[in-house]
Amino acid sequence: MMKAIFAAAFFCLVPLAAHAAEPCLPCHAEKTPAAVAQWQGSAHARAGVGCEKCHGSDHDKIVKGEAKVGMKVCGPCHQKAYQEHRASRHGMGLHSGWGCTRNLPNRKEGECRFCHEKGDEIPRSEVQCARFLKQSPEMGEIGCNYCHSVEDACDSCHSKHMTDLKIVRDPNSCAKCHMGPDHPQWEMWQTSLHGTLNASTGRKTGPDCQTCHMPKGTHNVSIGVTMNSGGVPYPAAKAEPARADMVRICSDCHAPSFAKRELERGDQVRGQSLAILKEAEHVIWDLNDRGLLDPMPENRPPHPLSGPRLVTDSQMLYEDTSHIERLFFKMKKYDYARTVKGAYHQNPAYTHWYGNAELKMDLVDIKGEASRLKERGKKGETKAAAPGAEDELKVLKNKFDRGALSEEEYAKAKAKVLEKMR
Amino acid sequence: MMKAIFAAAFFCLVPLAAHAAEPCLPCHAEKTPAAVAQWQGSAHARAGVGCEKCHGSDHDKIVKGEAKVGMKVCGPCHQKAYQEHRASRHGMGLHSGWGCTRNLPNRKEGECRFCHEKGDEIPRSEVQCARFLKQSPEMGEIGCNYCHSVEDACDSCHSKHMTDLKIVRDPNSCAKCHMGPDHPQWEMWQTSLHGTLNASTGRKTGPDCQTCHMPKGTHNVSIGVTMNSGGVPYPAAKAEPARADMVRICSDCHAPSFAKRELERGDQVRGQSLAILKEAEHVIWDLNDRGLLDPMPENRPPHPLSGPRLVTDSQMLYEDTSHIERLFFKMKKYDYARTVKGAYHQNPAYTHWYGNAELKMDLVDIKGEASRLKERGKKGETKAAAPGAEDELKVLKNKFDRGALSEEEYAKAKAKVLEKMR
Amino acid sequence: MMKAIFAAAFFCLVPLAAHAAEPCLPCHAEKTPAAVAQWQGSAHARAGVGCEKCHGSDHDKIVKGEAKVGMKVCGPCHQKAYQEHRASRHGMGLHSGWGCTRNLPNRKEGECRFCHEKGDEIPRSEVQCARFLKQSPEMGEIGCNYCHSVEDACDSCHSKHMTDLKIVRDPNSCAKCHMGPDHPQWEMWQTSLHGTLNASTGRKTGPDCQTCHMPKGTHNVSIGVTMNSGGVPYPAAKAEPARADMVRICSDCHAPSFAKRELERGDQVRGQSLAILKEAEHVIWDLNDRGLLDPMPENRPPHPLSGPRLVTDSQMLYEDTSHIERLFFKMKKYDYARTVKGAYHQNPAYTHWYGNAELKMDLVDIKGEASRLKERGKKGETKAAAPGAEDELKVLKNKFDRGALSEEEYAKAKAKVLEKMR
């Protein structure tokens, strides 16, 4: 009985005390009743954390949207989560669209400054994810920033005023960003054995996103991941401890040897898929060397970062390109990602049909289009014309200039063409 | 205690009484036991509404399928719902496939008669949705009428004999029509913040279809919608009050200023997407002017309504067209719809990846195909041939004839070509 | 009270007794605690079925992966399920990728041996599903065998140590294989009326996979199916009793006449879809006869089973083919399957938009590509060259040789060409 009274006191009296101290409530109970009600039912209210604590007391600033409740507002009270989040991929560089560019071999001097203030690992929150896409501000907001503000916005997952752990412990809270053609982790989990067991037997025997990616409630969601967000494998020194972490997580249910073998299968599939991707990329660069893309980069709006040049790395565009580059965009961003993530998430249909089969069909389509473009070239319709020796020498020079041929290979190939000329 | 007895009486005695009065039961308890059992558990049975009330008493007519339980059977008892339904998009003209054509600028005289009897706002139920597609009767039934009979069939949502409000209050009841490549509202809601909150916390904090589109249980599902079913914005006079309605609905949870801004973002995305669509449409009409479509409309089965002419409005076909028109069909019907509806439903992946990115890639593909077709034209393989002055004049005339050039623009352009000739 | 004690004894004492007898537990409680815990909570443990009963006692063999718990381990105890499973499509030949080839008209002598040991109806379990695709072992495991080991692995559906009937009675257990681009039965059920009613009212009024395909718990999942796994209709003698079976199943809820009509609509849609497919196939074979595929089968890696020849039957490839064959692959494997299965599962969007509309757009694309390839041929870029009489005669010979023309038709067509020559 005493316990019941104590509970009543905890749930009723404490919030009432907090309410009494709240100068915002009288107005906001009328203007934003849902927000007030949600806060009133929240752990924040129960702990006496009121409006001012998060929003500040400068009403003008709040109304102008200048008092955003970012990560640094939550951090002081939630230190552990804050530090884990900052150390994870969620906390870094997602604003750059295809993940932080720090792992790109050909990144530009000072490119960090697009996102980061000097010395700060956390990107500035006003950075547009769409910086190298021609996005309107509205599309940037809905299409990019609804997800790519996670590094500074705890409410991306925790929702705004409810702070109900039920919400963030539900894998649905991950779904709103981790779905779609480019990374359908949500979809592939749901129809994997893990997901289907979850549906029939719950979390204990059917692990969900949080089970494997936030073990023991850590906010470092990148634990155990062995590649960057573009699907490029980490170097061994970084990959091996990460792999050991993930095997430990799997071992809660599986024999470590089984877990290791399954994850290594994923590595193999990743390597094999990358090789198919590279074959297609080579076809496109060869066409570029021969001046056969339609249109060529110099005859279309320049790439915002790289200028009038072919770009096929993780900053490649899906607009203002040629048809064959568009095919490669789908291949790289969608089909490669689905194959690899499908394999690591043990989903047969995503690994094979939505992944590997699409990759191989993309290659068929890309080769088919290349054949068409080359024939067009032969007929003298484009600058490259019928590949006489002079043209062939120029193509070789292009390949050498972009580093596709070593000095030695270049010399040999040139000699061969000159031989033929005589 | 008295209350319990009364309840028992209500649930058991009344239906028994009704059963007793039911001449159909003895046979149908054997022939269609599920239907009988569902009716027996229904509110209809409890209220004494028996078989005859809805199906009539002419057994021959019923067996021949001539006693359909349409809207007019339900209307007299359910007046409010009936009137609201008739006033909504559900109640009007969906049979025309891409929505009622009343908003099309180039609709034909008397086109209403395809669907409506004179003076009747409600379309005739026997109208084929597929009237301008070459559908077989079977495909028309399963592929079209399973959804596009909603205007006359209350059981589209309410199911047949159960009349259990639990069914229609579940957003799943909307899923069976509002999904798929052309309007995946179901999919985009599920992975929006609204839908993911609904999964973890239920309707109160995670609104569903009914919350926003059937507020207070109205059957006018078009409330607050600001465009026709083809995605064309309403004129301001019609759009503004609709917008005010929707902002009022959002204000149950959000600050009105926030709701307004979000919806206006949707308007912006709609306008931007329409511009991309128009650019592609222009490319196709230009090819048509030059006689370069493959095949040209005159060399293929004519459009059932418009004859041997290019059709790119909401009655365009996905069959018996050229490859480039097929690309445009996907762009318009699928990708434009997903971008716009994705934005209004606040789903980032549908707005951006399934929407905007696809729209832009479609444009790349359409321009690529146009380039191929023009080159083909240049080589004298098609009637248009190398564009000499004479050809150019003909193309200009085509553009003028279809209203793409004003008289003044036409004169100027002609003068320019003639200038060059001299 | 006595009953409660008895229950406690059943759930605690019996397993303890079993545990006592279990020599594996002391080690495995530490090494694979989840497996042990799942077994401890299982019906097997309650019935005293311990590790050795399924895994044998040769630990070396188990560790080497040579003591697989296949169907023949489960069979002796579960005779009825075993026999039903063997008689069903689940129990036969799925390893061949596109289903057992026994129904293919052009199957090769001895082709059974790829999968079956002589005299054994059940395929050998080590057979690669990918035998005619260039799959890596890893892709074969994740992408193929995760599903295509069902014939020998009861744990495909029953999971490994839990043996909880709740799992296999949940339609989610079917989802992990019956989803994806090639046969999205899971997706189409979910958004059909059956699936949406299931979501709101449960199994009784919303039937699930098991309701219709495993009536009364049978393990013969092929009951009532009237086509092979490639979508080819069974001959009447086999189809008619199967249809009668399915109508009986439907009749638990529907009037038999209604069920029959709905299923016959599916048959009609299947026939109509097959005709569209055949039209496209004809276009491709005609290009092959004319030497216009790019590349031709003789200029690319040969088909693993058929050599350097065009293959468009159920063993066609999605790699090392031409663009137009790739289009046909999508048409046949994805769009035809979706149309037909969508119709039988009464899902409008899958039947029409994901099915029929795609089939018709595929045909537009295939005809468009054929037009391009023919024009290329005309310009003398390929061996076929401008179709002079000599070429035309060769094309006719090709058609005759592959059986597309009867002797009489061939003679007539030849005479016509020779006539023109004079």
Which of B200, B365, B379 to probe by mutation at the A interface, max A CB count within 10 Å? B200
C234 and C228 Cβ atoms separated by less than 8 Å: yes
Q: How confident is the model at residue C7 (pLDDT cuts 50, 70, 90)?
A: very low
**pLDDT 10s digits, A103-152:** 444 556 666 766 666 776 665 544 444 455 777 888 888 888 888 888 78
Rg (CA), chain C: 27
Identify which of C191, C265, C347 has the shortest CB distance to residue B138: C265
The phi, psi pair for B51, rounded to 5°, reads -55, -50
Instruction: Give the pLDDT of residue A236.
Output: 94
A212 and A249 Cβ atoms separated by less than 8 Å: yes
A–B CB contacts, 8 A cutoff, strictly below? 116
Average pLDDT value for chain C: 85
Instruction: Give the pLDDT of residue B1.
Output: 42
Q: Do A352 and C175 touch (CB under 8 A)?
A: no
Angle, alpha carbons C240-C241-C245 (nearest 5°) = 115
Burial group, residue C79, by CB count within 10 angstroms (0-12, 13-18, 19+): exposed
Instruction: Give the pLDDT of residue B376.
Output: 86
> From A363, which residue of chain C is nearest by alpha-carbon distance?
C319
**pLDDT 10s digits, B134-169:** 778 888 888 888 888 887 889 999 988 998 899 999
Average pLDDT for B186-203: 95
**pLDDT 10s digits, C225-262:** 999 877 889 999 999 999 999 999 999 999 999 999 99
> Using H for helix, E for strand and C for coil, what is the string for chain C?
CHHHHHHHHHHHHHHHHHHHCCCCHHHHHHHCHHHHHHHHCCHHHHCCCCHHHHHCCCHHHHHCCCCCCCHHHHCCCCHHHHHHHHHCHHHCCHHHCCCCHHHCCCCCCCHHHHCECCCCCCECCCCCCCCCCCCCHHHHHHHHHCCCCCCCCCHHHHCCCCCCHHHHCCCHHHHCCCCCCCCCHHHHHHCCHHHHHHHHHCCCCCCCHHHHHCHHHCCCCCCCCCECCCCCECCHHHHHHHHHHHHHHHCCCCCHHHHHHHHHHHHHHHHHHHHHHHHHHHHHHHHHHCCCCCCCHHHCCCECCCECCCCCCCCCCCCCCCHHHHHHHHHHHHHHHHHHHHHHCCCHHHHHHHHHHHHHHHHHHHHHHHHHHHHHHHCCCCCCCCCCHHHHHHHHHHHHHCCCCCHHHHHHHHHHHHHHHC
Q: Do C254 and B181 touch (CB under 8 A)?
A: no
Task: Give me the helix-helix angle, B407-421 and B389-401, nearest 10°.
Answer: 180
Q: Which residues in chain B are contacts of C350 at CB distance < 8 A?
A: 180
Q: How confident is the model at residue B374 (pLDDT cuts 50, 70, 90)?
A: very high
- In percent, how much of chain B has pLDDT > 90? 61
A355 and A338 Cβ atoms separated by less than 8 Å: yes
- Closest-CA distance of chain B to residue C43, Å: 32
> From C38, which residue of chain A is nearest by alpha-carbon distance?
A205
Q: Which residues in chain C are contacts of B147 at CB distance < 8 A?
A: 348
Instruction: Give the pLDDT of residue C6.
Output: 44
Q: Which residues in chain C are contacts of A351 at CB distance < 8 A?
A: 139, 142-143
Q: Do B354 and A181 touch (CB under 8 A)?
A: yes
**pLDDT 10s digits, C55-83:** 999 999 998 888 889 888 999 999 999 99
Q: Which residues in chain C are contacts of A347 at CB distance < 8 A?
A: 176
pLDDT of B98 > 60? The answer is no
Tokens for A168, please give them. Answer: 């963030």
Please report the beta strands in B274-316, taking only residues with DSSP state E, as ranges in sequence order. Answer: none
Q: Which residues in chain B are contacts of C190 at CB distance < 8 A?
A: 175
- Break chain A into its structural domains and give their ranges: 14-52, 68-100+114-157, 266-386
Helix (H) / strand (E) containing B372: helix B358-378
Q: In the beta sheet, which residues pair with residue C420? A: none
Which of B63, B128, B133, B139 to probe by mutation at the C interface, max C CB count within 10 Å? B139
Q: What's the residue count for chain C?
A: 422
C279 and C363 Cβ atoms separated by less than 8 Å: yes
Q: Do A354 and C181 touch (CB under 8 A)?
A: yes
Q: Which residues in chain B are contacts of C356 at CB distance < 8 A?
A: 135, 139, 143
Instruction: Give the pLDDT of residue A96.
Output: 39
- Closest-CA distance of chain B to residue A167, Å: 5
**Which amino acid is residue B152, in one-letter code?**
D
- In percent, how much of chain B has pLDDT > 70? 83
Q: Which residues in chain B are contacts of C343 at CB distance < 8 A?
A: 138, 142-143
Tokens for C320, please give them. Answer: 């090392």
> From B320, which residue of chain C is nearest by alpha-carbon distance?
C364
Identify which of C31, C180, C330 has the shortest CB distance to residue A349: C180
Where does B114-235 have alpha helices with state H? Answer: 137-139, 155-158, 165-168, 172-175, 185-190, 193-201, 209-213
Q: In the beta sheet, which residues pair with residue B303? A: B307
Q: Do B146 and C348 touch (CB under 8 A)?
A: yes
The closest of B382, B383, B370, B274 to B322, measured between CA atoms, is: B370
Close Cβ partners of C286 (under 8 Å, ≥ 6 residues apart)? C370, C399
**pLDDT 10s digits, C119-153:** 766 655 444 444 557 778 898 888 888 888 887 88
Q: Which residues in chain B are contacts of C365 at CB distance < 8 A?
A: 323, 326
Identify which of C167, C176, C182 has the shortest CB distance to residue A191: C176
pLDDT of C291 > 90? The answer is yes
Q: How confident is the model at residue B109 (pLDDT cuts 50, 70, 90)?
A: low
- Closest-CA distance of chain B to residue A11, Å: 20
Q: Which residues in chain A are contacts of C320 at CB distance < 8 A?
A: 364
Where does A141-235 have alpha helices with state H? Answer: 155-158, 165-168, 172-175, 185-190, 193-201, 209-213
Instruction: Give the pLDDT of residue C368.
Output: 98
A188 and A342 Cβ atoms separated by less than 8 Å: yes
Q: Do A34 and B254 touch (CB under 8 A)?
A: yes
Q: pTM here?
A: 0.89
- Closest-CA distance of chain A to residue C405, Å: 30
Instruction: Give the pLDDT of residue C87.
Output: 82
Which residue is listed with tokens 């395809």? B114
Instruction: Give the pLDDT of residue C362.
Output: 98
Instruction: Give the pLDDT of residue A378.
Output: 77
Q: Do C357 and B176 touch (CB under 8 A)?
A: no
Among A79-93, C13-27, C318-332, the least confident range: C13-27
Q: How far is CA C228 from CA A422, C85, C187, in A?
A: 63, 17, 21
3-state secondary structure of A127: coil
pLDDT of C269 > 50? The answer is yes
Q: How confident is the model at residue B111 (pLDDT cuts 50, 70, 90)?
A: low
A partners (3+ CB pairs within 8 A) are: B, C
Q: Which residues in chain B are contacts of A39 at CB distance < 8 A?
A: none
> From A368, which residue of chain C is nearest by alpha-carbon distance?
C323
Which of C36, C138, C160, C188 to probe by mutation at the A interface, max A CB count within 10 Å? C138
Among A271-285, B258-272, C351-365, C406-420, the least confident range: C406-420
Rg (CA), chain B: 27
Residue B342: HSE in the Cβ half-sphere, 13 Å Cα cutoff: 33
3-state secondary structure of B394: helix
Instruction: Give the pLDDT of residue B108.
Output: 65
Q: In the beta sheet, which residues pair with residue C116? A: C123
Which of A27, A63, A142 to probe by mutation at the B interface, max B CB count within 10 Å? A142
3-state secondary structure of B116: strand
pLDDT of B18 > 60? The answer is no
* A46-50 long-range contacts, CB within 8 A, separation 24+: A46/A10, A46/A11, A46/A14, A46/A15, A48/A14, A48/A17, A48/A18, A48/A21, A49/A18, A49/A77, A50/A18, A50/A21, A50/A22, A50/A24
B partners (3+ CB pairs within 8 A) are: A, C
CA atoms of B304 and C45, how far apart (whole Å): 68
Rg (CA), chain A: 27
Please give chain A's pLDDT, 422 residues, in tens: 444 444 444 444 444 444 445 789 999 998 889 999 999 999 999 999 999 999 999 999 998 888 889 888 999 999 999 999 988 888 865 543 444 555 444 556 666 766 666 776 665 544 444 455 777 888 888 888 888 888 788 999 998 899 889 999 999 999 999 999 999 999 999 999 999 999 999 998 899 999 999 999 999 999 999 998 778 899 999 999 999 999 999 999 999 999 999 999 999 999 999 999 999 999 999 999 999 999 999 999 988 777 899 999 877 899 999 999 999 999 999 999 999 999 999 999 999 999 999 999 999 999 999 999 999 887 654 444 445 788 889 989 988 988 889 999 999 999 999 888 77
Instruction: Give the pLDDT of residue B163.
Output: 85
Q: Do C164 and A201 touch (CB under 8 A)?
A: yes
B43 and B11 Cβ atoms separated by less than 8 Å: no
Q: Do C322 and A368 touch (CB under 8 A)?
A: yes
